[in-house]
Structure 1
Amino acid sequence: MVTRTRLYHDGTLVLEGFPASDVSAHLADPASVLWLDLHRPGPAEFTMLGQEFGIHELALEDAAHRGQRPKLDRYRTHEFLSAYAVTVSPDGAQLAYSEIAVFLTSQAM
C-alpha cells in the first residue's frame, strides 16, 4: 500500500513522508494540519483511521466498500466524502474513473 503524508503548520508545509504511526504526535499541536493519503487501504489502515482520527464506524465501512454513491455525510467530529475522479485519455477517446473516499476533520484530510 502506498502512503503519502504531509504536515502543515500555520499554513506552511513543514514535513512530508513521515510514517503514519506519527500522526498522533503531530495532531497534538492545534496549529497543525495533516494530509494522509492511503492508496487501497486494508483493514489495519481503516482501524488506524478510526483510532487516530475518531472516524465513525459507518464512515469507515462505507470507505472500505467500493461502489458508493457520491455523497457527503456529516458526523459530530468529521465529514465523509465519497466521490469519483474522472480522467480523459490523451486522445480524448476514453474516460476513466476512480472512486475516492475522503475523511475531513478540523486538522486532517
Structure 2
Amino acid sequence: MAPMVQTRLYRTGELEREDVAFNELDDLVRQEGVTVWVDYTSPTPDDLAGIEKVLGLHRLAVEDAVHDHQRPKLDRYPTHLFLAAYHAELGSDSDELKVSEIKALITKRALVTVHGPT
C-alpha cells in the first residue's frame, strides 16, 4: 500500500494552499514567513528519503519516524527536533481504549508528521 501524503503551505500563519508539489519544497523552506506541513500516513524509509534530503534531517530521526512503537521522546538534532508521542481516547460507544502513535520532525520552516492509518 502506497503512503498517503498531504501537504499544506502557510505564509505568515495563514493557509495559502494545499497539495504543494514535492519539487517546490526546497525553494519554499528557504523563504521567510513560510511554513510547510507534510503529513505522511504509513510511509517507508524510501518514501521519506526525498524530504530527508530537502530538510537535512538526520538519518536516525527518519528511521525512528517510520518504525512503530517508539517510546515517547523529544530528540534534539542540530537542525531539527524529533518528537514521538501517543494519543489515547476512550471509544464513544465502548469502554475500549484506542491508542494512536504520531511522530513529528520539526524544523524552523517545516513540520513533517508521520502516523499510521486512522
- TM-score normalised to the size of structure 1? 0.91
Q: 1:60 aligns with which of 48, 59, 62?
A: 62
1:61-93 deviations in Å (ceiling 9; x for gaps): 111221110000001110000011223211251
Instruction: Tell me if structure 1 keeps the 8 A contact 2:9–2:34.
Output: yes
Q: 2:92 aligns with which of 90, 94, 101?
A: 90
Q: How does 1:69-84 map to 2 (within 5 A)?
A: 69-84=71-86
User: Tell me, which stretches of 5 or more residues in structure 1 are unaligned?
Assistant: none
After TM superposition, give the deviation of residue 50 of structure 1 in Å: 1.3
Q: 1:24 aligns with which of 23, 26, 29?
A: 26
SS at match of 1:4: strand
Identity, % of aligned positions: 37
1:12-55 deviations in Å (ceiling 9; x for gaps): 11111222332112213122111110111112222112101111
Greater RCO (Cα-Cα under 8 Å, separation 6 or more):
2
Instruction: Tell me if structure 1 keeps the 8 A contact 2:45–2:63.
Output: no
For residues 71 and 79 of structure 2, what CA distance do their matches in structure 1 show? 22
Instruction: Tell me if structure 2 keeps the 8 A contact 1:20–1:36.
Output: no
Q: What letter corresponds to residue 77 of structure 2 in structure 1?
A: Y
After superposition, the CA RMSD in angstroms is: 1.3
Q: What is the total number of aligned residue pairs between the two structures?
A: 109
- TM-score normalised to the size of structure 2? 0.84
Instruction: Tell me if structure 1 keeps the 8 A contact 2:45–2:62.
Output: no
Q: What letter corresponds to residue 18 of structure 2 in structure 1?
A: E
